[in-house]
Amino acid sequence: MSAATKYVTLEGRFKMHRGGYLESPTMAYETWGDLNEDKSNAILIFSGLSPSAHAASSGEDSTPGWWEDMIGSGFPLDTDRYCIICVNSLGSCFGSTGPASVNPETGELYRLTFPTLTLEDVGEAAFGVVRSLGIEKIHTVVGCSMGGMSGLALCVNHPGAVASFISISSSARPLPFAIAMRSLQRELIRCDPKWQGGNYDPGDQPVDGQRLARKLGMMSYRSPEEWEQRFGRERINYAGPGDEPFRIEFSVESYLEAHANRFSGAFDANCYLYLSRASDLFDLAEHGGSLAAGFRHLDLERVLVIGVVTDILFPLHQQRQLAEGMKTACKDTRLIELDCIRGHDSFLVDMDAFRPIICEFIECSGDFTAKS
Amino acid sequence: MSAATKYVTLEGRFKMHRGGYLESPTMAYETWGDLNEDKSNAILIFSGLSPSAHAASSGEDSTPGWWEDMIGSGFPLDTDRYCIICVNSLGSCFGSTGPASVNPETGELYRLTFPTLTLEDVGEAAFGVVRSLGIEKIHTVVGCSMGGMSGLALCVNHPGAVASFISISSSARPLPFAIAMRSLQRELIRCDPKWQGGNYDPGDQPVDGQRLARKLGMMSYRSPEEWEQRFGRERINYAGPGDEPFRIEFSVESYLEAHANRFSGAFDANCYLYLSRASDLFDLAEHGGSLAAGFRHLDLERVLVIGVVTDILFPLHQQRQLAEGMKTACKDTRLIELDCIRGHDSFLVDMDAFRPIICEFIECSGDFTAKS
Chain B residues with CB-CB distance to A219 below 8 A: 177, 180-181, 184
Task: Give me the domains of chain A, ranges plus CATH numbers.
Answer: 6-174+283-362 (3.40.50.1820), 178-273 (1.10.1740.110)
- Does residue B238 have a pLDDT over 90? no
Chain B interface test: which of A116, A183, A207 (most B C-beta within 10 Å): A183
- Say if the Cβ atoms of B224 and A186 lie within 8 Å: no
Q: How many Å apart are CA A357 and CA A370, to the nearest integer?
A: 6
Tell me the per-residue pLDDT of B186-204, one tens digit each, with 9 for 90 and over.
999 999 999 999 999 999 9
Residue B287 main-chain phi, psi, to 5 deg: -95, 80
Q: What is the residue-averaged pLDDT of chain B?
A: 95
- Say if the Cβ atoms of B187 and A215 lie within 8 Å: yes
Q: A207-221 vs A176-191: helix axis angle to the nearest 10?
A: 160
- Return the C-alpha torsion angle A144, A148, A150, A152, nearest 10: 160
Whole-number pLDDT of residue A371: 38
Q: How many Å apart are CA A173 and CA A156, to the nearest integer?
A: 13
Whole-number pLDDT of residue B363: 81
Whole-number pLDDT of residue B372: 35
Q: How many Å apart are CA B344 and CA A265, to the nearest integer?
A: 35
Nearest to B223 by CA among A295, A80, A239, A180: A180
Whole-number pLDDT of residue A237: 79
Q: How many Å apart are CA A117 and CA A99, to the nearest integer?
A: 10
Confidence of residue B240 (pLDDT cuts 50, 70, 90): low
Q: How far is A126 from chain B (nearest CA, A)?
A: 23
B344 counts as catalytic: yes
Q: How many Å apart are CA B175 and CA B173, to the nearest integer?
A: 7
Whole-number pLDDT of residue B370: 43
Q: How many Å apart are CA A203 and CA B1, to the nearest integer?
A: 50
Residue B231: closest CA among chain A residues belongs to which residue?
A176
- Does residue B369 have a pLDDT over 60? no
Q: Mean per-residue pLDDT for B209-221?
A: 97
Residue in A116, A175, A244 nearest the CB of B228: A175
- Say if the Cβ atoms of B191 and A184 lie within 8 Å: no
Whole-number pLDDT of residue A366: 63
Residue B298 main-chain phi, psi, to 5 deg: -75, 150
* Regions of chain A where pLDDT drops below 50: 370-372
Whole-number pLDDT of residue A243: 59
DSSP B145: T
Whole-number pLDDT of residue A368: 65
Write the CA distances from B226 to B69, B223, B310, integer angstroms.
21, 5, 9
Residue in A116, A180, A188 nearest the CB of B245: A116
- Does residue B61 have a pLDDT over 80? yes
Q: How many Å apart are CA A253 and CA B186, to the nearest integer?
A: 12
- Find how far residue B297's CA is from the centre of its chain: 23
Whole-number pLDDT of residue A46: 98
Q: Mean per-residue pLDDT for B307-328?
A: 97
Residue in A197, A219, A251 nearest the CB of B243: A197
Q: How far is B149 from chain A (nearest CA, A)?
A: 16
Q: How many Å apart are CA A34 and CA B44, to the nearest integer?
A: 73
Whole-number pLDDT of residue B1: 72
- Say if the Cβ atoms of A252 and B181 lie within 8 Å: no
Tell me the per-residue pLDDT of B107-130, one tens digit each, with 9 for 90 and over.
999 999 999 999 999 999 999 999
A270 dihedral zone (left: phi>0; alpha: psi -120 to 50; beta): alpha
Chain A residues with CB-CB distance to B283 below 8 A: 233
As a whole-number percent, the residues of chain B with pLDDT over 70 amount to 96
**Residue by residue, what is the 3-state secondary structure of B90-133?**
CCCCCCCCCCCCECCCCCCECHHHCCCCCHHHHHHHHHHHHHHC
Residue in B176, B212, B273 nearest the CB of A187: B212
Q: How many Å apart are CA A101 and CA A106, to the nearest integer?
A: 11
Whole-number pLDDT of residue A242: 59
Whole-number pLDDT of residue A191: 95
